[in-house]
Amino acid sequence: MKNLIGAVVVIIIVAGGYYFYVNGIPGTSSSSTEANLGTYAYACENGSQFTMSPSADMSTLMLEAGSQGMFSGSVTLTKVASEAGQRYEGGGVVFIGAGEGVRLTVGSETTVCNPVPNTENAPWNWGDAGEGGGEKQDAVLIVTESIQGKWQSTDDAKFVREFGAAGKVTDYHDGKVVTSGLWVAFEKGINAPEVPFPLEENSVYIQMTLTGSQADTLNFRLVKLTPEELELVYLDRGGVLKFKAVQ
């Protein structure tokens, strides 16, 4: 009789183990790839919204479009090598995180997105934009940090260009906003966007993507940047733009 009871207990244990092997332990994920580190909401300057859920090992991100979005439904992005922020790509979407901000590109449209305030969760921090970069990336990072601020044209005192944080640029004339958009600094071979001219070694470039009624893409080569002076060679139309810092 004892042998019979023992055999029944063994059968129950084996059957139970097989059930959990197939279905997983209640309350846990059956696959580590399904686990993530939470869900974070973002709002973008162009009005679009989305949520971001990083996988446990940070190798992928899942983006879920909001009611207003640059894409529809959900898309999974895979991490790729980058020397300027944490970069993920997939489904025609490029996601670059640096600090708490994000640059989101879908097709030909790029926008800057920031965390939606949440009293329960701190915003996700992607780290410094130059993490993992070598000496070349340091030059881009230095320019990115040093160029921020307002610069007044030496040829037209009424014209002021402001390079802001999170890649935003604004042009003023006589104190009024005349155009705005995004800007990015880059070097040859380091996340350089497509440009209609050859890039030189050991040079830093600035690309501005303007929106609104004066939508355009402008490209410059940086020739001088000090706390007081800024000089840019206008590569699309020629000429040198000279500015002085606005105190």
Comparing 6-15, 139-148, 218-227, the range with the smallest average pLDDT is 6-15
pLDDT given at position 69: 80
| 4 Cβ contact partners less than 8 Å away, ≥ 6 residues apart | none
CB-based contact 145:130 (threshold 8 Å): no
pTM of the model: 0.47
Q: DSSP class of residue 9?
A: H
92 lies in some domain: yes
Q: Are residues 156 and 228 in the same domain?
A: yes
Q: DSSP class of residue 174?
A: T
Give the pLDDT mean for 57-66. Answer: 91
pLDDT digits (tens, 9 = 90+) for 191-222: 788 888 899 887 899 999 988 667 789 999 99
pLDDT digits (tens, 9 = 90+) for 63-104: 999 988 889 999 999 999 876 678 899 999 999 888 888 989
Report the chain's terminal Cα–Cα distance, integer Å.
95
For residue 171, list its beta bridge partners. 161, 179
86 lies in some domain: yes
Residue 118 pLDDT more than 90? Answer: no
Q: Are residues 22 and 47 in the same domain?
A: no
CATH number of the domain that residue 75 is part of: 2.40.128
> How far is residue 136's CA from residue 203's CA, in Å, rounded to a whole number?
9
Q: Are residues 143 and 235 in the same domain?
A: yes
CB-based contact 172:164 (threshold 8 Å): no
Q: Are residues 176 and 143 in the same domain?
A: yes
The overall average pLDDT reported for the chain is 80
Whole domain around residue 10: which residue ranges?
A: 1-30
> How far is residue 78's CA from residue 89's CA, in Å, rounded to a whole number?
5
123 lies in some domain: no
Question: What pairing do the DSSP bridges indicate for beta strands 49-54 and 40-44?
Answer: antiparallel
pLDDT given at position 213: 66
Identity of the amino acid at 38: G
Total domains, the chain: 3
Q: What are the φ/ψ torsions at residue 7 (nearest 5 degrees)?
A: -65, -40
